[in-house]
Structure 1
Amino acid sequence: MPEDFNQDQLYDHARLTPQFVLADANSFFASCESVFNPSLAGRPVVVLSNNDGCVVARSPAAKRLGIANGTPWFKIREQAERDGVVARSSNYELYASLSHRMMSIMANFLPEQEVYSIDECFMLSLWDGQRTQAICADLRETVLRSVGIPVSVGVAPTKTLAKVANHWAKNHPGANGVTLWSQVLAQDGDRALASVPVADVWGVGRRLTKKLESTGILTALDLQRADPTAMRRRFSVLLERTVLELRGTPAIEREEDANGGARSQQILCSRMFSKPVVGFGTLSQALGVYAQKACSRLRRQGSLCSRVRVFCSSSPYAPGQYSAMSGQTRLEDPSDDPVVITRAARTALAGRVDPHAAYIRAGVVLENLRDAKGYQTLDGLEANRDRGLGPALDEAARRFGPFRVGIGFGGVRGKGRQDEDTGAEWAMNRRMLSPRCTTRWDEMATVHAR
């Protein structure tokens, strides 16, 4: 709460409508890469997906070169290098660490922080527009000075409009990184929403965009003017809420915190392999590792699962016949036991794998989740609970690092800079990984005084 608050102001603030504040880091992954490497500031930087496959993040300079997200790196590498583009592997440890620092700082400025993703959070402002704008400007300056990450802020009466205002702040330099939707409306009126394609509205995906466009809804303004009841009847209650939000009526409830919120439907662990995997024996190694990772998340949130689903697929672009397999195992009793769940994952694909297919991706999904403490049933039908192995594995990982101890390949640790992953040949490659300056003693940044 601002320092100059006093009780005499309480009545005035009680009459104000709370405003949603969305703080979103600019080009977060790419910005993180320049925090400990200032030479990258202002240069075209791209961050690549697992195994250095596709572009997943771009600095402003890279965007100006026309590089699109999702572009395979091997297709543009030669031209990108001629253009001076710097490519980096995804440095998840660094990004998560800087995100935590950024969120901790922002939580000191406004109440009710809701971390929506690794680079953005919602907060609430109970102040008038002038005071809110000053607080948000101070927030931006503090995050940039303390963490080195540029942030844009949008303020509006609903979350959806706060998203629109945030994009406005990013795309209009005159806003100085902070946009109040009330000011945009006063200046531009309906032209503001008319300039936003319906595809860019929060919650409107690619499929829904095509359906809406076929009905003549092309912009956010068109969607705002649509009949909410008709949108619900024809599409979904979620779209009805979006229409209400665009009209200034809050209709989206607070969601789980992305920094540690529990998953209520399913827990997924999926990866691309660094090289194709052939045969059930090697594929089951990966499934065992992914099952243990998913099981660790299951224990952290205090849940049980009663169904384990697995899948794998080959590359649709590689020569030869495309192959994709999936299977599931229903557990006799809900469980959080890593041995039971790892065995179930292996069993789910047994006999289904094409022995000649070159699989490049696999995943494990834990489904039918329920709260472990609240699970009650008849005597003799209790959950198949972990007897202590899971917590022991978690403690070993916490104290000595991942893959020091595990089941099967879950206990085979990589070497060198890959020691955070399993030592299998199919483990993820990150050949252009920058230093993990905030989480590894041997990779800390060195500062020279001159």
Structure 2
Amino acid sequence: MNGTGRVFALIDCNSFYCSCERICQPELKRRPLVVLSNNDGCVIARSAEAKVLGIGMGAAYYQVREQMRRHGVVARSSNYTLYADISNRVMRVMAEELAGIEVYSIDEAWGDMTGIADIEAHGRHIRQRLAREIGMPVGVGVSTTKTLAKLANWAAKKWKGTGGVLDLTSPARQEKLLRIAPVSEVWGVGHRSAAKLAALNITTAWDLAQFDIGTLRQTFGVTMERTARELGGISCIGFNEGPAPKEAICSSKMFGVRQTELAPIREALAAYVSRAAEKLRSQTSLCSTIQVGLQTQLADLRGPRYANAVTLALPAPTDDTREILALAQQGLTQIYRPGYPYSKCSILLMGLSRRGELTPDLFSPAPRRGAERLMAVVDQINQKEGRGTVRIGSVPAAPAWAMRREMLSQRYTTRWEEVIGVRG
């Protein structure tokens, strides 16, 4: 046991973006499928069938398009609205089934299984419920430390005999898996670290767990030392009920087509500020400083290149979209230069503090009356009816600068007009 008696579970969705597409499009099941990045640039998710065909992660779409056509691979543009909603549904089920969860990313979360008598049975129950109620396939790995639970999850997905669930709380089972698991599959060990470890004859997770701790600390630092201790069953990474508030919030996307005029860039910036401010309010933070950025495609060596950013201080910490946007538009005017084909603008919210944490400045302007209530209502409507239902007036419903997403599926779960239709 880990000394604390805590039992960690890692529940991880299988090929999350592809699985989300298949939930609402049954015709895609068992067909090779990939999901593309912003502006349909490169492959960011692959189904198991696409992996077998050799479609590489990060491959540029234009380079593999012909290969995909020959093998009947289906491509979908990133549908982040759909993915976020499916993720929220998955996390709600986990929260109902476990004493506590810690969301790790959009497609995985840690769960507290301490005190559960039949761990494997409960893991199978969660897996079956997620498949039945949402249609999401997951892997469940359970052990006495987070690093061991992560490795158990890898094994649960790799070997079908596990049925997608692996209880690795037994020391005997831990040793058996550690002896055969490549060190590169250990949580926190990247390709470069794996190469350096191989030079020390550390090729498996077991080798790392048994290696001299002092040497690891001196050679790789405290993080690798902690990883080795966790593999040895000593819990060094605690369980948190939720992620810590972000210290900075950024919103930025490439334009679908390059923009030379200021007006459409101002529209895009307004949309990005709205999204960033929404994130700011979701963690009950206020912003005191912003940075506005604007750039051309810097990788294009043939065309004119330009990049600039300006940092500005707000009169007082705020989460009011209108206040942040007014200052951001001033910043954009300062850095915009006519004649350049711009590919991207960005907004970065900095100097964040929690609401009620700071004493108000007597000489700063008072916030707009009713601002907090107004922003809360806007967020509630957008959460219920879909992002962008209520938006800043300067942002059009179908902007010319929007990302290229020519293979976008419907937002089946968040837009009434895009709900799945059933024919009689």
The normalised TM-score by structure 2 is 0.86
Shift of 1:406: 4.4
**Separation in 2 of the partners of 1:350 and 1:332?**
19
Compared CA separation, residues 193 and 341, structure 1 to 2 (3 A): farther
Which residue of the partner structure matches residue 232 of structure 2? Answer: 247
Partner of 2:54: 66
Corresponding letter in the other structure for 1:170: K
Q: Find out whether 1:224 has 2:199 as its counterpart.
A: no
**CA displacement, residues 333-368 of structure 1 (integer Å, 9 cap, x when unaligned):** 323232332233234454444544333222211111
Aligned equivalent of 1:178, options 165, 168, 180: 165
Amino acid at match of 2:71: D
Instruction: Provide the rounded CA distance (Å) in 2 between the counterparts of 1:218 and 1:324.
Output: 44
Aligned position for 2:286 = 304
Structure 2 match to 1:149:
136
Deviation at 1:60, TM superposition (A): 0.7
Instruction: Report matched runs for 1:381-420 at 5 Å.
Output: 385-389=367-371, 391-392=373-374, 395-396=377-378, 398-399=380-381, 402-403=387-388, 406-407=391-392, 409-410=394-395, 412-414=396-398
Matched-pair contact (CA < 8 Å) for 1:310–1:326: yes
Q: Do structure 1's residue 26 and structure 2's residue 14 form an aligned pair? A: yes
Question: Which structure ranks higher in relative contact order (CA pairs < 8 Å, sequence separation ≥ 6)?
Answer: 2
Are the structure 2 counterparts of residues 378 and 83 from structure 1 closer, same or farther at C-alpha, using a change threshold of 3 Å?
Answer: closer
Kindly provide the amino acid, as one letter, of the partner of residue 293 in structure 2: F
* Counterpart mapping for 1:113-192 below 5 A: 113-127=101-115, 131-182=118-169, 186=172, 189=175, 192=178
C-alpha displacement of 1:332: 4.2
Query: Which residue number in structure 1 is paired with residue 74 of structure 2?
Result: 86
In structure 2, the partner of 1:99 is 87
1:407 deviates by 4.2
CA distance in 2, matches of 1:207, 1:311: 32
- Contact 2:293 / 2:309 at 8 angstroms: preserved in 1? yes
Distance verdict in 2 for CA 1:322–1:243, change over 3 Å: farther
3-state SS of 1:35 partner = helix
- Give deviations 1:49-88, integer Å, cap 9, x for gaps: 2222221111110111111221121221122022010111
| More divergent stretch after superposition (110-119 vs 273-282) | 273-282
CA shift digits 1:251-285 (9 cap, x unpaired): 1233463xxx5633111112121111225554333
1:244 maps to amino acid: R
Work out the percentage of aligned pairs sharing the same amino acid.
38
CA distance in 1, matches of 2:377, 2:247: 26
TM-score calculated relative to the size of structure 1 = 0.82
Post-superposition offset of 1:445: 1.9
Match of 2:404 among 429, 437, 441: 429
Whether the 8 Å CA contact 1:303–1:371 is kept in 2: the answer is yes
Q: Deviations over 1:274-297 (max 9, x none)?
A: 111225554333223212221222
Over 3 Å counting, the alpha-carbon distance change for 1:387 and 1:235 in structure 2 is farther
Matched, 1:201 2:189: no
Which range moved further: 342-351 or 358-367? 342-351
Deviates more, 1:76-85 or 1:334-343: 334-343
Structure 2 counterpart SS, 1:253: coil
**Structure 1: gaps (5+ residues):** 1-12, 415-423
Which SS does the other structure have where 1:189 is aligned?
helix
Corresponding residue pairs, total: 419
Asked if the contact 1:302–1:373 (Cα under 8 Å) also holds between the matched residues in 2, the reply is no
2:368 and 2:228 map into 1 onto residues whose CA distance is 46
CA separation of 1:252 and 1:147: change in aligned 2, threshold 3 A: same
What's the offset of the Cα at 1:114?
Answer: 1.7
Deviation readout 1:357-401 (Å, 9 max, x if unpaired): 33322221111111121211553358x645434643552464475
Counterpart amino acid of residue 23 in structure 2: V
Distance across 1 between alignment mates of 2:207 and 2:298: 38
Q: How does 1:201-350 map to 2 (within 5 A)?
A: 201-205=186-190, 219-228=204-213, 231=216, 236-255=221-240, 257=242, 263-318=245-300, 319-320=302-303, 322-350=305-333
Counterpart in the other structure of 1:439: 414
Q: Which amino acid aligns with 2:413?
A: T
Question: Which secondary structure state, in structure 2, belongs to the residue aligned with residue 170 of structure 1?
Answer: helix
- Partners of 1:180 and 1:361 in 2: CA distance: 47
- Distance of 1:314 and 1:232 partners within structure 2: 43
Change (3 A) 1:264 1:405: closer
- Say if 1:39 and 1:266 are closer, same or farther in 2 by CA, change over 3 A: same
Cα distance change on mapping 1:358 and 1:102 into 2, 3 Å? same
Q: Is the 8 A contact 2:178 2:204 kept in 1?
A: no
Structure 1 residues 347, 196: closer, same or farther in 2, change over 3 A? farther
Amino acid paired to 1:166: N
Q: Which amino acid aligns with 2:406?
A: R
